[in-house]
Amino acid sequence: MLRRERFETLALWLLAATVLVILWGAFVRVTGSGAGCAEHWPLCNGEFVPRSPTLETIIELTHRITSGLAGILSVVVFLAARRGFERGSPVRKAASTGLVLMVLEGAIGALLVKQGLVAKNASEARAFVVGLHLCNTFLLLAAQTLTYHFARGGAPLVLRGRAGLVALLALLSGLVLLLGGSGAVTALGDTLFPASSLRAGLAQDRSPDAHFLVRLRVWHPLLAVFGGAIIVYAVQHLRATLDVPAVARCALAISVLYVLQLAVGSLNLLLLAPAPIQIAHLLLADLIWIALVLLSAHALAARTHTAQLSLESAAS
């Protein structure tokens, strides 16, 4: 039987590997390499190992290989969870959910390739699937984060009798998903319709004849400023209300990451979305989401709930 300490390490490796695959996927989009294997999947240009591959083919094939390795690791974590933890364990549930979402992640990626929603494709269908892809990716990261959290001894979640807290955390999660999805669509527009200067880009955004991806670009920065402010205010409110050290640490991490995200987003706008800045922007978004998942887990933990009941009993 796999020791629990080793399982923790395995779960953490899976989470890190998934983040790296996500960032490489952004690199595929930025470099326009999504069609590097044409519309063939899982083969690349109809071959297992393409002969005389172009740079775009190498970039896309690397993404497929690393995605496949992450998928295999997800299966290993799932099996190890079943062997190492009892039936009904939150570790088992999180690992099972993670495996399902990993399969769905691969299916969405295959859909993008098979339908030609890559490279220079600027259709509404691609924008929709890209947003869907981002949401599924975030849910996958959530499942993997919870797998690691519960493996480390995180208490099960208590939802009953905590409707207000659950609603607030669900609202924050939905807001982050909205910001992430709008960011993914905005990044797609930046890639497909690059501006020669900041002034030219602003003129593109205001043009009534502009492509819908260009017209949508203006909304993400506005959502990021106002939505992010709501998120920071809410997590700081939870920190003060719950008085749980782990919640306080996560709230601080979210606040710091949000400030960094605003700075990187502004830099991304001023420098006309260069690839390294886009990838750094996505990494910060992933980290904010992971921190929010951990904050939610600590806020809804059974031990936190027990402590609140004890305080309420003492007060009465």
List phi, psi (to 5°) of 48: -70, -45
User: What are the tokens at 46?
Assistant: 């109809």
8-33 per-position pLDDT tens digit: 999 999 999 999 999 999 999 999 99
**4-30 vs 275-299: helix axis angle to the nearest 10?**
150
pLDDT of residue 248 exceeding 80:
yes
**pLDDT of 66 above 90:** yes
Q: What is the pLDDT of residue 315?
A: 43
Mean pLDDT of 233-257: 96
How far does CA 54 lie from the centroid of its chain?
29
The pair of structure tokens assigned to 45 is: 């240009």
Region of poorest pLDDT, from 34-38, 103-107, 131-135: 34-38
Q: Name every residue whose Cβ is closer than 8 Å to that of residue 179 and which is 6 or more positions away in sequence.
A: 220, 223, 224, 227, 228, 285
Concatenated DSSP letters of 222-245 = HHHHHHHHHHHHHHHHHHHHH--H
Please say if the pLDDT value at position 51 is more than 80. yes
Domain ranges within the chain, ordered by starting residue: 1-154, 157-316
Q: Which residues make Cβ contacts (< 8 Å) with residue 187, sequence separation at least 6?
A: 26, 29, 273, 278, 281, 282
pLDDT of residue 111: 93
3-state DSSP call for residue 157?
strand
Whether the pLDDT of residue 314 is over 70: the answer is: no
Amino acid 216: pLDDT: 87
CA end-to-end distance (rounded Å), the chain: 47
Amino acid present at 243: D
Instruction: Please say if the pLDDT value at position 306 is more than 60.
Output: no
Q: How far apart are CA 77 and CA 147, in angstroms?
A: 9
**Mean pLDDT value across residues 22-50:** 89
Confidence category of residue 309, pLDDT binned at 50, 70, 90: very low
Among left, alpha and beta (phi > 0; psi -120 to 50; other), residue 243 is: left
Residue 257 exposed, middle or buried by CB count within 10 Å (0-12, 13-18, 19+): buried
pLDDT at residue 2, rounded to an integer = 60
Percent of the chain whose pLDDT exceeds 70: 95
| Whole-number pLDDT of residue 312 | 43
User: What's the CA gap between 98 and 96, in Å, rounded?
Assistant: 5
Q: Is residue 176 pLDDT above 80, yes or no?
A: yes
Q: Are 293 and 263 in contact (CB under 8 A)?
A: no
On the question of pLDDT at 310 being above 50, the answer is no
Q: 192, 187, 175, 191: which is closest to 217 by C-alpha? A: 187
Q: Which of 147, 141, 142, 155 minimizes the C-alpha distance to 11? A: 147
Over 60: is that where the pLDDT of 307 sits? no
226-230, 241-245, 305-309, range with the lowest pLDDT:
305-309
The answer, yes or no, to whether residue 288 has pLDDT greater than 70, is: yes
